[in-house]
Protein backbone atom coordinates (compact mmCIF):
# COMPACT_ATOMS: atom_id res chain seq x y z
CA UNK A 1 0.00 0.00 0.00
CA UNK A 2 1.13 3.58 -0.77
CA UNK A 3 1.36 5.22 2.68
CA UNK A 4 1.08 8.70 1.11
CA UNK A 5 -2.55 8.00 0.19
CA UNK A 6 -5.20 9.63 2.30
CA UNK A 7 -7.40 7.12 4.13
CA UNK A 8 -11.05 7.03 3.04
CA UNK A 9 -13.76 5.83 5.41
CA UNK A 10 -15.09 2.38 4.50
CA UNK A 11 -12.25 1.55 2.09
CA UNK A 12 -9.72 -1.14 2.99
CA UNK A 13 -6.35 0.72 3.08
CA UNK A 14 -4.84 -2.06 0.94
CA UNK A 15 -7.18 -1.06 -1.91
CA UNK A 16 -6.68 2.72 -1.83
CA UNK A 17 -3.85 2.72 -4.40
CA UNK A 18 -5.79 0.60 -6.88
CA UNK A 19 -9.07 2.49 -6.52
CA UNK A 20 -7.35 5.87 -6.87
CA UNK A 21 -5.43 4.73 -9.96
CA UNK A 22 -8.63 3.34 -11.51
CA UNK A 23 -10.27 6.75 -11.36
CA UNK A 24 -8.01 7.64 -14.34
CA UNK A 25 -10.41 5.57 -16.49
CA UNK A 26 -11.74 7.43 -19.57
CA UNK A 27 -15.37 8.57 -19.70
CA UNK A 28 -17.49 10.39 -22.28
CA UNK A 29 -17.21 14.15 -21.54
CA UNK A 30 -15.01 13.15 -18.60
CA UNK A 31 -18.25 12.81 -16.64
CA UNK A 32 -16.87 9.99 -14.42
CA UNK A 33 -20.34 8.57 -13.74
CA UNK A 34 -19.09 5.68 -11.58
CA UNK A 35 -20.06 5.26 -7.95
CA UNK A 36 -18.26 2.78 -5.67
CA UNK A 37 -19.92 1.11 -2.69
CA UNK A 38 -17.57 -0.73 -0.29
CA UNK A 39 -19.15 -3.81 1.29
CA UNK A 40 -18.54 -4.76 4.95
CA UNK A 41 -16.40 -7.81 4.00
CA UNK A 42 -13.49 -5.43 3.31
CA UNK A 43 -12.73 -6.91 -0.12
CA UNK A 44 -15.81 -6.39 -2.30
CA UNK A 45 -17.07 -3.21 -3.99
CA UNK A 46 -20.33 -2.62 -5.83
CA UNK A 47 -20.00 -0.40 -8.91
CA UNK A 48 -23.05 1.72 -9.67
CA UNK A 49 -24.09 4.31 -12.18
CA UNK A 50 -26.87 6.87 -11.72
CA UNK A 51 -28.89 7.63 -14.84
CA UNK A 52 -29.89 11.02 -13.42
CA UNK A 53 -26.27 12.03 -13.15
CA UNK A 54 -25.31 11.78 -16.75
CA UNK A 55 -25.87 12.68 -20.39
CA UNK A 56 -29.21 13.88 -21.72
CA UNK A 57 -28.07 13.15 -25.28
CA UNK A 58 -27.27 9.49 -24.61
CA UNK A 59 -30.81 8.08 -24.95
CA UNK A 60 -29.81 4.44 -25.42
CA UNK A 61 -27.19 4.74 -22.61
CA UNK A 62 -24.49 3.60 -25.02
CA UNK A 63 -21.85 5.99 -23.68
CA UNK A 64 -22.85 5.11 -20.12
CA UNK A 65 -22.38 1.35 -20.47
CA UNK A 66 -19.21 1.77 -22.55
CA UNK A 67 -17.80 4.06 -19.89
CA UNK A 68 -18.65 1.66 -17.07
CA UNK A 69 -17.04 -1.19 -19.04
CA UNK A 70 -13.92 0.94 -19.49
CA UNK A 71 -13.89 1.67 -15.76
CA UNK A 72 -14.06 -2.02 -14.85
CA UNK A 73 -11.32 -2.93 -17.34
CA UNK A 74 -9.16 -0.17 -15.87
CA UNK A 75 -9.55 -1.82 -12.45
CA UNK A 76 -8.71 -5.22 -13.94
CA UNK A 77 -5.53 -3.97 -15.63
CA UNK A 78 -4.41 -1.83 -12.69
CA UNK A 79 -4.94 -4.57 -10.06
CA UNK A 80 -1.61 -6.43 -10.60
CA UNK A 81 0.23 -3.09 -10.35
CA UNK A 82 -0.97 -3.03 -6.73
CA UNK A 83 -0.31 -6.74 -6.08
CA UNK A 84 -4.01 -7.52 -6.21
CA UNK A 85 -6.09 -10.05 -8.10
CA UNK A 86 -9.64 -9.09 -9.04
CA UNK A 87 -12.82 -11.04 -9.71
CA UNK A 88 -15.49 -9.22 -11.72
CA UNK A 89 -19.15 -10.24 -11.44
CA UNK A 90 -21.37 -8.32 -13.90
CA UNK A 91 -24.79 -7.47 -12.44
CA UNK A 92 -26.37 -4.98 -14.87
CA UNK A 93 -29.61 -4.68 -12.89
CA UNK A 94 -31.56 -1.45 -12.84
CA UNK A 95 -33.63 -0.12 -9.92
CA UNK A 96 -35.22 3.23 -10.73
CA UNK A 97 -32.39 5.49 -11.81
CA UNK A 98 -29.68 3.33 -10.31
CA UNK A 99 -27.79 0.87 -12.46
CA UNK A 100 -25.90 -1.77 -10.47
CA UNK A 101 -23.19 -2.52 -13.03
CA UNK A 102 -20.87 -5.05 -11.40
CA UNK A 103 -19.24 -6.26 -8.25
CA UNK A 104 -15.44 -6.40 -7.99
CA UNK A 105 -13.69 -8.42 -5.32
CA UNK A 106 -9.98 -8.03 -4.50
CA UNK A 107 -7.55 -10.55 -3.05
CA UNK A 108 -3.75 -10.55 -2.72
CA UNK A 109 -2.01 -11.50 -5.97
CA UNK A 110 -0.40 -14.91 -5.49
CA UNK A 111 3.40 -14.91 -6.01
CA UNK A 112 3.91 -15.57 -9.72
CA UNK A 113 0.16 -14.99 -10.20
CA UNK A 114 -1.30 -14.09 -13.56
CA UNK A 115 -0.52 -10.64 -14.90
CA UNK A 116 -1.31 -8.93 -18.18
CA UNK A 117 1.33 -7.17 -20.35
CA UNK A 118 -1.13 -4.28 -20.77
CA UNK A 119 -0.97 -3.59 -17.02
CA UNK A 120 2.40 -1.89 -17.53
CA UNK A 121 0.75 0.61 -19.91
CA UNK A 122 -2.60 1.36 -18.35
CA UNK A 123 -1.47 4.42 -16.40
CA UNK A 124 0.14 5.91 -19.54
CA UNK A 125 -3.15 6.03 -21.45
CA UNK A 126 -4.80 9.32 -22.34
CA UNK A 127 -6.75 10.71 -25.27
CA UNK A 128 -4.50 12.58 -27.71
CA UNK A 129 -6.20 15.30 -29.79
CA UNK A 130 -3.08 16.52 -31.62
CA UNK A 131 -2.61 16.14 -35.36
CA UNK A 132 -1.23 12.70 -36.23
CA UNK A 133 1.65 11.82 -38.53
CA UNK A 134 1.16 9.56 -41.57
CA UNK A 135 3.03 6.60 -39.97
CA UNK A 136 1.13 3.42 -40.78
CA UNK A 137 0.02 1.04 -38.03
CA UNK A 138 2.18 -2.04 -37.58
CA UNK A 139 0.61 -5.35 -38.72
CA UNK A 140 0.85 -6.58 -35.09
CA UNK A 141 -1.18 -3.63 -33.81
CA UNK A 142 -3.77 -4.08 -36.56
CA UNK A 143 -4.14 -7.76 -35.68
CA UNK A 144 -4.52 -7.06 -31.95
CA UNK A 145 -7.19 -4.42 -32.62
CA UNK A 146 -9.11 -6.70 -34.96
CA UNK A 147 -8.98 -9.47 -32.35
CA UNK A 148 -10.64 -7.06 -29.90
CA UNK A 149 -13.56 -6.51 -32.30
CA UNK A 150 -12.43 -3.39 -34.17
CA UNK A 151 -12.87 -2.92 -37.92
CA UNK A 152 -9.99 -0.83 -39.27
CA UNK A 153 -10.83 1.55 -42.12
CA UNK A 154 -9.27 4.36 -44.10
CA UNK A 155 -10.51 7.54 -42.39
CA UNK A 156 -11.29 9.18 -45.76
CA UNK A 157 -14.16 6.76 -46.44
CA UNK A 158 -15.99 8.31 -43.47
CA UNK A 159 -15.41 11.93 -44.52
CA UNK A 160 -18.95 12.66 -45.79
CA UNK A 161 -20.57 10.80 -42.90
CA UNK A 162 -18.54 12.70 -40.34
CA UNK A 163 -19.28 16.03 -42.03
CA UNK A 164 -23.01 15.27 -41.93
CA UNK A 165 -22.82 14.11 -38.29
CA UNK A 166 -20.84 17.14 -37.21
CA UNK A 167 -23.18 19.63 -38.90
CA UNK A 168 -26.26 17.90 -37.51
CA UNK A 169 -24.77 17.72 -34.02
CA UNK A 170 -24.03 21.42 -33.90
CA UNK A 171 -27.61 22.15 -34.97
CA UNK A 172 -28.96 19.79 -32.27
CA UNK A 173 -29.87 21.54 -28.98
CA UNK A 174 -29.48 18.32 -26.93
CA UNK A 175 -25.91 17.78 -28.20
CA UNK A 176 -25.01 21.40 -27.42
CA UNK A 177 -26.69 21.08 -24.01
CA UNK A 178 -24.52 18.04 -23.12
CA UNK A 179 -21.39 19.95 -24.12
CA UNK A 180 -22.52 22.91 -22.02
CA UNK A 181 -23.19 20.72 -18.96
CA UNK A 182 -19.65 19.31 -19.00
CA UNK A 183 -17.66 22.33 -20.22
CA UNK A 184 -15.40 23.78 -17.48
CA UNK A 185 -13.80 27.26 -17.57
CA UNK A 186 -11.84 26.38 -14.42
CA UNK A 187 -8.86 24.27 -15.48
CA UNK A 188 -8.73 22.75 -11.97
CA UNK A 189 -12.36 21.49 -12.01
CA UNK A 190 -12.52 17.82 -10.98
CA UNK A 191 -14.65 16.69 -13.92
CA UNK A 192 -15.75 17.73 -17.42
CA UNK A 193 -13.47 19.13 -20.10
CA UNK A 194 -11.62 22.42 -20.64
CA UNK A 195 -10.66 24.30 -23.82
CA UNK A 196 -6.92 23.39 -23.57
CA UNK A 197 -7.81 19.72 -23.05
CA UNK A 198 -9.99 19.75 -26.19
CA UNK A 199 -7.45 21.84 -28.16
CA UNK A 200 -9.91 24.67 -28.68
CA UNK A 201 -8.40 27.99 -29.72
CA UNK A 202 -9.76 31.22 -28.13
CA UNK A 203 -11.81 31.90 -31.31
CA UNK A 204 -13.32 28.40 -31.30
CA UNK A 205 -13.98 28.66 -27.55
CA UNK A 206 -15.81 31.96 -28.14
CA UNK A 207 -17.96 30.29 -30.83
CA UNK A 208 -18.63 27.40 -28.46
CA UNK A 209 -19.81 29.76 -25.73
CA UNK A 210 -22.00 31.49 -28.30
CA UNK A 211 -23.56 28.10 -29.10
CA UNK A 212 -24.11 27.46 -25.37
CA UNK A 213 -25.89 30.81 -25.12
CA UNK A 214 -28.04 30.25 -28.23
CA UNK A 215 -28.71 26.55 -27.58
CA UNK A 216 -27.19 25.58 -30.92
CA UNK A 217 -24.97 27.16 -33.57
CA UNK A 218 -28.00 28.07 -35.74
CA UNK A 219 -25.65 29.11 -38.48
CA UNK A 220 -24.70 26.98 -41.47
CA UNK A 221 -21.48 28.99 -41.71
CA UNK A 222 -20.44 28.20 -38.12
CA UNK A 223 -21.56 24.58 -38.44
CA UNK A 224 -19.34 24.30 -41.52
CA UNK A 225 -16.33 25.80 -39.69
CA UNK A 226 -16.66 23.30 -36.84
CA UNK A 227 -17.27 20.28 -39.03
CA UNK A 228 -14.36 21.17 -41.34
CA UNK A 229 -12.02 21.30 -38.35
CA UNK A 230 -13.26 17.94 -36.96
CA UNK A 231 -13.21 16.18 -40.30
CA UNK A 232 -9.77 17.46 -41.40
CA UNK A 233 -8.22 16.15 -38.20
CA UNK A 234 -9.95 12.78 -38.59
CA UNK A 235 -9.18 12.17 -42.26
CA UNK A 236 -5.49 13.08 -41.85
CA UNK A 237 -4.97 10.10 -39.52
CA UNK A 238 -3.52 6.90 -41.02
CA UNK A 239 -6.34 4.70 -39.68
CA UNK A 240 -9.75 4.77 -38.03
CA UNK A 241 -11.30 2.03 -35.91
CA UNK A 242 -14.95 1.11 -35.51
CA UNK A 243 -15.63 -1.09 -32.51
CA UNK A 244 -18.63 -3.37 -32.80
CA UNK A 245 -20.91 -5.03 -30.24
CA UNK A 246 -23.09 -8.08 -30.63
CA UNK A 247 -26.19 -5.92 -29.92
CA UNK A 248 -27.21 -2.84 -27.93
CA UNK A 249 -28.12 -4.70 -24.71
CA UNK A 250 -26.51 -3.47 -21.47
CA UNK A 251 -24.41 -6.67 -21.24
CA UNK A 252 -23.13 -6.32 -24.82
CA UNK A 253 -22.32 -2.62 -24.38
CA UNK A 254 -20.58 -3.27 -21.06
CA UNK A 255 -18.46 -5.94 -22.74
CA UNK A 256 -17.73 -3.55 -25.61
CA UNK A 257 -16.59 -0.90 -23.09
CA UNK A 258 -14.09 -3.38 -21.66
CA UNK A 259 -12.79 -4.18 -25.16
CA UNK A 260 -12.68 -0.49 -26.04
CA UNK A 261 -10.45 0.20 -23.07
CA UNK A 262 -8.17 -2.74 -23.90
CA UNK A 263 -7.96 -1.45 -27.49
CA UNK A 264 -6.91 1.99 -26.31
CA UNK A 265 -4.23 0.64 -23.95
CA UNK A 266 -3.03 -1.70 -26.72
CA UNK A 267 -2.58 1.34 -28.99
CA UNK A 268 -0.60 3.21 -26.31
CA UNK A 269 1.57 0.13 -25.63
CA UNK A 270 2.43 -0.02 -29.35
CA UNK A 271 3.63 3.62 -29.32
CA UNK A 272 0.55 5.06 -31.05
CA UNK A 273 -2.25 7.35 -29.83
CA UNK A 274 -6.00 7.59 -30.38
CA UNK A 275 -8.91 10.05 -30.29
CA UNK A 276 -12.64 9.10 -30.26
CA UNK A 277 -15.16 10.72 -32.63
CA UNK A 278 -18.47 9.57 -31.19
CA UNK A 279 -20.70 11.99 -33.12
CA UNK A 280 -20.99 9.81 -36.23
CA UNK A 281 -22.44 7.03 -34.06
CA UNK A 282 -24.45 9.30 -31.73
CA UNK A 283 -26.25 10.82 -34.72
CA UNK A 284 -29.15 8.51 -35.60
CA UNK A 285 -29.00 9.25 -39.34
CA UNK A 286 -25.25 8.61 -39.71
CA UNK A 287 -24.80 5.54 -37.46
CA UNK A 288 -26.23 3.15 -40.13
CA UNK A 289 -23.82 4.65 -42.69
CA UNK A 290 -20.87 3.97 -40.36
CA UNK A 291 -22.16 0.40 -39.98
CA UNK A 292 -22.35 -0.07 -43.75
CA UNK A 293 -19.02 1.56 -44.64
CA UNK A 294 -17.09 -0.31 -41.94
CA UNK A 295 -19.00 -3.55 -42.36
CA UNK A 296 -19.85 -3.67 -38.65
CA UNK A 297 -23.49 -4.58 -37.87
CA UNK A 298 -23.56 -2.77 -34.49
CA UNK A 299 -20.94 0.00 -34.36
CA UNK A 300 -20.57 1.43 -30.85
CA UNK A 301 -17.37 3.49 -30.98
CA UNK A 302 -15.35 5.31 -33.63
CA UNK A 303 -11.85 6.70 -33.15
CA UNK A 304 -8.80 7.75 -35.14
CA UNK A 305 -5.41 6.13 -34.56
CA UNK A 306 -1.93 7.35 -35.41
CA UNK A 307 1.32 8.68 -34.04
CA UNK A 308 1.77 12.10 -32.53
CA UNK A 309 4.95 14.02 -31.87
CA UNK A 310 3.30 15.80 -28.98
CA UNK A 311 1.70 14.76 -25.69
CA UNK A 312 -1.86 15.96 -24.97
CA UNK A 313 -1.93 19.74 -24.48
CA UNK A 314 -3.56 19.35 -21.05
CA UNK A 315 -4.37 16.31 -18.96
CA UNK A 316 -7.94 15.70 -17.89
CA UNK A 317 -8.82 16.06 -14.20
CA UNK A 318 -10.53 13.58 -11.89
CA UNK A 319 -12.83 13.73 -8.88
CA UNK A 320 -11.30 12.41 -5.64
CA UNK A 321 -12.21 8.92 -4.44
CA UNK A 322 -14.28 10.20 -1.52
CA UNK A 323 -16.61 11.98 -3.99
CA UNK A 324 -17.50 8.78 -5.84
CA UNK A 325 -18.12 6.57 -2.80
CA UNK A 326 -21.60 5.38 -1.88
CA UNK A 327 -22.21 4.54 1.77
C1 LIG B 1 -17.46 6.14 -24.50
C2 LIG B 1 -16.53 7.31 -24.72
C3 LIG B 1 -16.79 8.21 -25.75
C4 LIG B 1 -15.94 9.31 -25.97
N5 LIG B 1 -16.20 10.16 -27.03
C6 LIG B 1 -15.35 11.20 -27.26
C7 LIG B 1 -15.55 12.05 -28.39
O8 LIG B 1 -16.49 11.90 -29.16
N9 LIG B 1 -14.68 13.07 -28.60
C10 LIG B 1 -13.59 13.28 -27.77
O11 LIG B 1 -12.83 14.22 -28.01
N12 LIG B 1 -13.37 12.46 -26.69
C13 LIG B 1 -14.21 11.44 -26.42
N14 LIG B 1 -13.98 10.60 -25.38
C15 LIG B 1 -12.77 10.80 -24.55
C16 LIG B 1 -13.11 11.52 -23.24
O17 LIG B 1 -13.38 12.88 -23.47
C18 LIG B 1 -11.91 11.35 -22.31
O19 LIG B 1 -11.77 9.97 -21.99
C20 LIG B 1 -12.02 12.11 -21.01
O21 LIG B 1 -12.06 13.51 -21.26
C22 LIG B 1 -10.83 11.81 -20.07
O23 LIG B 1 -9.61 12.13 -20.70
P24 LIG B 1 -8.48 11.03 -20.95
O25 LIG B 1 -9.06 9.99 -21.86
O26 LIG B 1 -7.36 11.79 -21.61
O27 LIG B 1 -8.09 10.45 -19.62
C28 LIG B 1 -14.81 9.51 -25.12
C29 LIG B 1 -14.56 8.59 -24.09
C30 LIG B 1 -15.40 7.51 -23.89
C31 LIG B 1 -15.10 6.53 -22.77
In sequence order, what DSSP letters do the residues of 13-35 get, joined into one string? GGGHHHHHHHTT---GGG---EE
Nearest to 77 by CA among 309, 266, 213, 279: 266
For residue 279, give the ligand 1 atom closest to its CA.
8
Q: What is the Cα–Cα distance from 94 to 101, expressed in whole angstroms?
A: 8
139-306 fold = NADH Oxidase (3.40.109)
Residues 221-264: pLDDT tens digits?
667 777 788 899 999 999 999 999 999 999 999 999 999 999 99
Q: Ligand 1 mean position to 12 CA, how many Å?
A: 30
pLDDT digits (tens, 9 = 90+) for 62-107: 888 999 999 999 999 999 999 999 999 999 998 888 889 999 999 9
> Phi first, then psi: what are they for 197, rounded to 5°?
-60, -40
The values of phi and psi at residue 295, to 5°, are: 60, 40
Strand partners, 247: none
What is d(CA 209, CA 262) in angstroms, rounded to the nearest whole number? 35
Ligand 1 pocket check: which of 22, 27, 193, 254 to mutate, most ligand atoms within 8 Å of Cβ? Answer: 27
Whether the predicted model's global pTM rises above the 0.75 cut: yes
- The CATH classification number of 13-124 equals 3.40.109.10
Q: Does 139-306 match 13-124 at the fold level?
A: yes
Could you tell me the residue ranges of all domains in the chain? 13-124, 139-306
Lowest mean pLDDT among 4-8, 24-28, 303-307: 4-8
Ligand 1 atom closest to the Cα of residue 277 is: 8
Task: Render pLDDT for 162-191 as a digit per residue (tens, 0 to 9).
Answer: 999 988 888 888 888 888 989 999 999 999
Amino acid sequence: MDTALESVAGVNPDHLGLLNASLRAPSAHNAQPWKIKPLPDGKTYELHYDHNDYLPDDPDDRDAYLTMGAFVETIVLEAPNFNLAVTVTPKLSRTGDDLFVAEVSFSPLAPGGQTDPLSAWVSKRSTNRNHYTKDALTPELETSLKDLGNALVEPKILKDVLTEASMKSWANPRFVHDLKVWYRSDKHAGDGYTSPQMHLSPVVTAALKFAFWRGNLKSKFMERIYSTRDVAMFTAAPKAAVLSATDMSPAALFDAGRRLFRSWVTIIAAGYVYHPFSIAIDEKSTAPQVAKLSNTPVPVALYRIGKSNKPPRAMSNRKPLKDVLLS
